[in-house]
A and B are shown apart, each in its own frame.
Chain A
Amino acid sequence: DSGVTQTPKHLITATGQRVTLRCSPRSGDLSVYWYQQSLDQGLQFLIQYYNGEERAKGNILERFSAQQFPDLHSELNLSSLELGDSALYFCASSVAGTGGGYGYTFGSGTRLTVV
């Protein structure tokens, strides 16, 4: 158990629908990162939050949004889902914001299948 909790583990939904993925960071970590992993794109950074504020944005579609709550858990919202959104979505956490050589601790991921 890495200490980063992601729910649900699996999600199957239809095109056009909206889903919410949840992440609880490791105790003491203030940053949460979201990554998308697919066979053709590899691991793509989506977005980072630090202590409730957005810190960095990557290749995140406008249909996707995220937030980090006061208790530091984070949610990734995916809307108007398309078949191509099927992927493994990882959450990671770290103690720092942007600086330093801190590694990230990853959750076990949410496998999203859009049918």
Chain B
Amino acid sequence: AQSVTQLGSHVSVSEGALVLLRCNYSSSVPPYLFWYVQYPNQGLQLLLKYTTGATLVKGINGFEAEFKKSETSFHLTKPSAHMSDAAEYFCAVKGTGKLIFGQGTTLQVKP
């Protein structure tokens, strides 16, 4: 069965600093991996996804993630945080008939 673990329920960075949100997955088959963002009182919005091919995936709003099979990781990064990046971020893996989400990481951006 597939699963994801997000390391750190809260991450705080200063504006302009590197953002790194960690996600490790477990899958018995080549995984499809996703990052979603949820702003307050809104639904989830797809940031990026990895299916096959290039292991470095670029998404919206300057975010990118690298699929590392040897480390079973799919960490999300952004070189320079902006105040508008403050939100909750979810890593997900495609299971049978559904997306399986991690518990989420709340990103706080300090001025």
Contact = CB atoms under 8 A, between A and B. Distances in A.
A55 B49 CA distance: 23
A48 interface: yes
B43 A107 contact: yes
A45 interface: yes
A106 B100 CA distance: 14
Interface residues of A, number: 23
Interface of A: 2, 4, 33, 42-43, 45, 48, 55-56, 58, 90, 92, 97-98, 100-101, 103-109
22 contacts: A42-B102, A43-B101, A45-B98, A45-B99, A56-B96, A56-B97, A56-B98, A90-B44, A92-B44, A92-B99, A98-B97, A101-B49, A101-B50, A101-B51, A101-B52, A103-B34, A103-B46, A104-B46, A104-B99, A106-B36, A107-B43, A108-B41
